[in-house]
Amino acid sequence: MHSIVLLNPPVVRPSEPPAGLARLCGALKKNGVECAAVDLNIEGLLHLMERREGVAPSADRWTARAEKNLTANLSLVRGPRALDNADAYRKAVLELDRLASRAHSRPGVRLGLTDYKDDSLSPLRSGDLLRAAREYTCNPFFPFFSKRIPGLLAKSNFAGISVNYLGQALSAFAIAGFIRAEFPEVRIIMGGGLITSWLSRSGWQGPFSGVVERFVAGPGEGALLSLLGVERPLAECPPDYSPFPLAGYLSPGPVLPYSASSGCWWRKCSFCPEKAEAGAYVPVAPSRALREIKGLVALERPALVHFLDNALSPAFLEEIIKDPPGAPWYGFARITRHLTDPGFCRSLKDSGCTMLKLGIESGDQGVLDRLNKGIDLGVAAAALKALRGAGIETYVYLLFGTPPENEEAARNTRDFVLANRDGIGFLNLAIFNLPIDSEDGAGLEKREFYEGDLSLYADFRHPLGWDRRVVRRFLDREFRREPAIAEILRRDPPLFTSNHAAFFSRFN
């Protein structure tokens, strides 16, 4: 009989448990496979911060204060007191980050609560990932995972490592290298969002056969079950969060993440990796999704449900109004006419909707049309107004430097934000990256810019001269300096941004 250990490597924002592993765990256990799951991310970060206890206080005052306040800061960030005093919460988050960043001594390593980078190793170069696997003792989490993993693998013949973000990749390969060296009989499987993106790239070669046995794209339950010898898996298996203590994560209340679909029901935006990667849209039937969520809410009693979908479908929103999950919730939605209806927005609010994340991207209609975003700016403005009227907070995403944008169009975006400022709770500003396999990149002049063989984006010469450097200057010198915009940007929770924003809604 097979047995598997599922691992979530550091570093990714430690605000909630890993939803993908919870879904795998549910499917494996329901189908009779022995399975353990461990979040090495939150455990590893806490280990880094806590192991400083008992050593002589640091010489620099900020770190010394962060060491002294560790217990109090953890308790503040994990509880409702964070919401009473935004300044204390902000200070606590920054002190925890400081502590994590000082918990290693290797030069060139930039580690914090939400990311891990190493100047000498790029997660975008397969050669560097192989080096991370070979030199696993150099990973800043080695003292932790070398003690934690052996006990887990004592009874397992498979290890599944989930890699969703670049900040996890170096540690994922260091962990794989450690397992390969210490437990050569254990078969290593890697999956997750980042691996799926790499596998979907034309030209993927994956030169990792000496380290990783098998890579899995997409949700992964089917591939894993068949690898573990389950011929006819049961279809309906809700996620299992029992391995992950929700209250131990760093959020002002326990957060339960849930995906009601994979892929995107729209999948037309020209700039989007979802389109370039051509992954299928696979929704969980809305009635089943709500059944699962309600079961999980009854069991785990979260303060907030976080829907991870790229965009919650109108069908799902209709269903959640009819059958609310029993806990406040937030997630991404597309701007559609539904959201301009004050009655619909009030019903969403009654279902527990605290915040919607909205990718508006541009305040210039010509740009939106060229990006195939399918958004009408009049509808977007009406939606922001109706959501505010219903008391639903918004987290608006804007994208600058897309191929059809020029300076005038960017100023139109600024004007759109100013005109609709009351309906915008939080803002995320991003600069466009061209997906490497994007059809829309065909007419653009790409630049020789070699980030690595695993890079998902290409550098390009902007056809209107509106390239990253000029865009950055516009954002820093003009956009961010608008007093009304600066006020919105100041509300953003430090480091945790949208993961904590719903707790700080203006309407709570």
Provide the b/e sequence for 179-202 (b: ≥16 CB within 10 Å): bbeebeebbbbbbbbbbbbbbbbe
Which CB sits closer to ligand SF4, 266 or 307? 266
Distance CA 304, CA 318 (A): 19
Contact 348, 307 (CB under 8 A): no
Which CB sits closer to ligand SF4, 262 or 347? 262
**Min separation Cβ 39 and ligand SF4, Å:** 26
Which CB sits closer to ligand SF4, 98 or 275? 275
Residue 67 has, within 13 A of its CA and on its CB side, a CA count of 16
Which CB sits closer to ligand SF4, 133 or 272? 272
**Min separation Cβ 143 and ligand SF4, Å:** 39
Query: What is the three-class DSSP state of 354?
Result: strand
**Min separation Cβ 82 and ligand SF4, Å:** 30
Chain residues in the site for ligand SF4 (CB under 6 A) = 264, 266-269, 272, 274-275, 310-311, 334, 359
Name residue, tokens 């591939």: 223
Which CB sits closer to ligand SF4, 5 or 360? 360
**Min separation Cβ 268 and ligand SF4, Å:** 6
Tell how strand 457-458 and strand 434-435 pair up: antiparallel
For residue 11, say if its preceding peptide bond is cis, omega within 30 degrees of 0: yes
**Min separation Cβ 311 and ligand SF4, Å:** 5
Q: How buried is 496 (Cβ within 10 angstroms: 0-12 exposed, 13-18 middle, 19+ buried)?
A: buried
**Min separation Cβ 366 and ligand SF4, Å:** 18
Which CB sits closer to ligand SF4, 67 or 437? 437
Which CB sits closer to ligand SF4, 51 or 268? 268
Provide the b/e sequence for 456-476 (b: ≥16 CB within 10 Å): bbbebebeeebbeebbeebbe
Distance CA 433, CA 441 (A): 11
**Min separation Cβ 357 and ligand SF4, Å:** 10
Which CB sits closer to ligand SF4, 327 or 333? 333
Which CB sits closer to ligand SF4, 22 or 375? 375
Query: Dihedrals φ, ψ of 256, to 5°?
Result: -110, 110
Distance CA 94, CA 435 (A): 33
99: number of Cβ within 10 Å: 25
Distance CA 508, CA 299 (A): 24
Query: Dihedrals φ, ψ of 494, to 5°?
Result: -60, 140
Query: What is the three-class DSSP state of 38?
Result: strand
Contact 254, 301 (CB under 8 A): yes
Which CB sits closer to ligand SF4, 39 or 277? 277
**Min separation Cβ 215 and ligand SF4, Å:** 23
**Min separation Cβ 315 and ligand SF4, Å:** 15
The sheet that has 255-258: what strands, in order across it?
255-258, 304-307, 329-333, 353-361, 393-400, 426-431
**Min separation Cβ 259 and ligand SF4, Å:** 13
The H or E element spanning position 7 is strand 3-8
Which CB sits closer to ligand SF4, 37 or 272? 272
**Residue in 151, 179, 218 with CA at minimum distance from that of residue 9:** 179
**Min separation Cβ 302 and ligand SF4, Å:** 25
**Min separation Cβ 332 and ligand SF4, Å:** 7
Which CB sits closer to ligand SF4, 134 or 267? 267
DSSP string, 239-283: ---TTS-GGGSSSSS-EEEE-SEES-SS---TT-HHHHHTPPPEE
